[in-house]
Amino acid sequence: MKARNLLFFLLGALTLSIYLASCGEDRWPEYAVQTQTDRWIDDSMRVWYYWNEDMPSSKKLNYFSEPATFFKSLLSSEDKYSTIDSIIQLSPTRSALDLEYGYGIQFELDKVENNDTAYYARILYTVKNSPAATANLSRGQWILSIDDKPITKKNYTELYMGSGIKVVTGYYDSVKNTILANKSTTNIGAMTPLEDNPVYYYNTYTEGDNRIGYLVYNRFTPGTTANPTAYDQALLNVSKYFAGQNVNQFILDLRYNNGGHLSSAQLLSTILAPSSALGKRLGYLEFNKQSTPRNQEFYLDQNLIPTGSNLNLNTLYILTSSQTASASEMLINCLKPYIPKIVLIGQTTVGKNVASKTFINKDLQIAINPIVCKIYNSLGTSDYSSGFKADYSLSEISDLKYYLPFGDTNEALLSKALSLITNKSTSVNSTKSLRVSPIISSMTRKADRAVRLE
């Protein structure tokens, strides 16, 4: 009896193994098609991912998962910034780094104190020559409603792009300490392609022997698809302007700069650094352990500024916010060994001390942006994963009376920097203003996840 049972068992096992083998062989082309996206993701990550040693073994992975789910299953617990997109998501309405089409409004959605339902979109700035700028919307205004409807978390995205909208704008009245609506409505035309030049505003101020340069730089990006170096050239041009003004103090406004390309950060660092530092190592990138070479150095290279100027700074004031991240933080960290006095004014930065690289598979319609390296300065320091704390903590909305256009010497953060340079007092520390609480920022929509190597 036992022998018979054993025989039936062996025959059954043999039959099952043959059946499974034949099924696997017959369905292999189907399986290959179903798993090709996940396998491409896995292969790319095992070569490039900074934490590739933490990835699960292939035996533990489900290659039939949705690509986004599969990608997430590969990530290290230390990773906060790697992302995956479909190519369809990246075009034509937005690119991997910035908005290509839209109304051109950058804003924060504020919940007003003592009001449980109202959300106002506080304008941070409008892109030049955009539909919003053409409609005379500007920093310092609030958008109170969209097409006669209150702003909510469900409809605020209508401020990004569309065929045109009608808005009611408002302004802060410091006497009544409230936001008041303008009497007329504003019509914003249909979305258009945007040229969001990161060199947004610049000026010089003279106070005694101080020749103070001020630059609002909103993104580290070299140019557009049509002109890949347009924005870097604008940066070179403005450096030449500051050199012609003989600036000896400098205020760099990075409060809305949440990242971009390493090459542009290297360029701006070369413009700002002391001339004695030119030619020296600015920092290095550390890739995963299987990379050869593992470290890649980058320098303060005078060859990057043939049509620009080095400003030879020994002091640098940098305006920051909770949006300041990535390449902005890289610049701060990498210039610290060379500029004796770097003063941060504003809020604690994000803490992105890593860099990503985009890999695109057009056939599979997938783009992945894994973290591929960690960023160090010339001294081997990369300890800002919790962000840089401001030397002078100050919010630009602590007193709305000083929430003013860029370049206005009474604007909260600029005024504080100028007072430190000139040793004159400022009243921007007042907190008697109407208190607003930022809920959502449009800056996160165009935020770069980490320093970009492309």
Distant-in-sequence contacts of 142-146, Cβ < 8 A, 24+ apart: 142/110, 142/169, 142/170, 142/171, 142/172, 142/179, 143/105, 143/107, 143/167, 143/168, 143/169, 143/170, 144/118, 144/120, 144/168, 144/169, 144/170, 144/179, 144/181
> What CATH superfamily is the domain 101-193?
PDZ domain (2.30.42.10)
Residues in the chain where the model's pLDDT stays below 50: 1-24, 90-99
pLDDT of residue 411: 97
Q: Where in the chain is the domain with CATH 3.90.226.10?
A: 199-355+371-429
pLDDT of residue 74: 98
What φ, ψ does residue 99 adopt, rounded to 5°? -75, 130
Amino acid at 447: A
pLDDT of residue 439: 87
Those residues with Cβ within 8 angstroms of residue 214's Cβ, 6 or more apart along the chain or in another chain:
201, 202, 203, 204, 205, 250, 251, 253, 407, 414
pLDDT of residue 431: 59
Short-list 186, 185, 201, 188, CA closest to 238: 201
pLDDT of residue 454: 66
3-state SS, residue 411? coil
Q: Judging by DSSP bridges, how do beta strands 210-217 and 249-253 pair with one another?
A: parallel
Maximal CA-CA distance, the chain: 108
pLDDT of residue 112: 74
Q: How far apart are CA 264 and CA 199, in angstroms?
A: 12
pLDDT of residue 321: 97
199-355+371-429 CATH, one of 2.60.410.10, 3.10.129.10, 3.90.226.10, 3.40.50.720 = 3.90.226.10
Q: Structure tokens of 141?
A: 């205004």
pTM: 0.89
pLDDT of residue 57: 96
Token pair 């504020």 is found at 110
Q: Structure tokens of 325?
A: 């991240």
